[in-house]
Amino acid sequence: MTAQPTPDHLVTDRSLLSTKAYGTGQHLAARQSLYQWQTPSYDLPGIVVNELADVRGAVADVGCGNGKFVARVREDRPDLVVLPMDVSHGILGAIPGALVADVQQLPITTGALGAVLALHMLYHVEDQAQAVRELGRVLAPGGIAIVSTNSRTDKLELEHLWRQAAGDVLGIQEGPARVQLSARFTLEDAPAILGTVFSEIRTIPLPGVIEVTDAEPVVAHLASYEAWADKMGVPFRETIERARERVNETIQAEGAFRVACLGGILVCQGPAR
């Protein structure tokens, strides 16, 4: 199966992102929770904190979501001033000091930051080139940008599962692909996009395998795409339930349902000036 890129407007719609998709932290938490069953296990906030070892001053987490990374940086590095930002007011919830902001036009003085984080969010940005320029603009000399995303090969088993379940519901061999968030900014494409601004980019690959013996974590992950339900081309809830049945059938036959993962963190030095 070949993953088909998602039309940009489905993934970058500002209104949809700030309401249905990330109006609360519920759907993001469901996607994050699947990684509890990944081997090896990665402490992603810990990796970010380690990369900030030489950073001083202020750090912005742009597209901070539910504040998972903000909380860890504040806990481990109380000497840093952490600025949480996101386009969705709702998901910011009770994160202290958070403000609504767009990475394409950051409300930050040029050269003000020791580091900026853009974690699993640049695929949601309409003008990625402008966003990358902004990430570079706000950094002080010697500052770093820490960016993350997934490979185009990440979790292909879930794409296959969705299309099989959708096909079952529609009565055809294989249904349409679901919305794929990372397709606009993959681990393979990211260095070239970031390299227009940053002089040195180091990639930390994070491969693993998710193995579940209960269908619920997989079902919750698929259901977290509900914001795009009317764009999927299939009855969403019926497809989710058929996917549950297929996962249970695999677990019964093979003892577990397995998903191969490949994400990564890119540490960007610069900008090149």
Q: Are 240 and 222 spatial neighbours (Cβ–Cβ below 8 Å)?
A: yes
pLDDT at residue 180 tops 90: no
Over residues 2-47, the pLDDT tens digits come to: 333 345 676 776 666 666 545 555 556 666 788 999 999 999 999 9
- Cα–Cα distance, 174 to 113 (Å, whole number): 48
- φ and ψ at 141, to 5 degrees? -55, 130
Question: What pTM was estimated for this model as a whole?
Answer: 0.91
Rounded distance between C-alpha atoms, residue 77 and residue 71, angstroms: 10
Query: How would you list the strands of the sheet with 139-150, edge to edge?
Result: 38-39, 200-212, 257-269, 139-150, 113-119, 58-62, 81-86, 99-100
Q: pLDDT for 196-236, tens place per residue?
A: 999 999 999 999 999 999 999 999 999 888 877 777 788 99
- Greatest distance between any 2 Cα atoms in the chain: 59
pLDDT at 174: 93
18-32, 143-157, 163-177, 255-269: the lowest-pLDDT one: 18-32
pLDDT in tens, 32-86: 788 999 999 999 999 999 999 999 999 999 999 889 999 999 999 999 999 999 9
Q: Which two tokens stand for residue 206?
A: 């994070």
Nearest Cα to Cα of residue 150 among 62, 37, 264:
264
Length of the chain measured in residues: 273
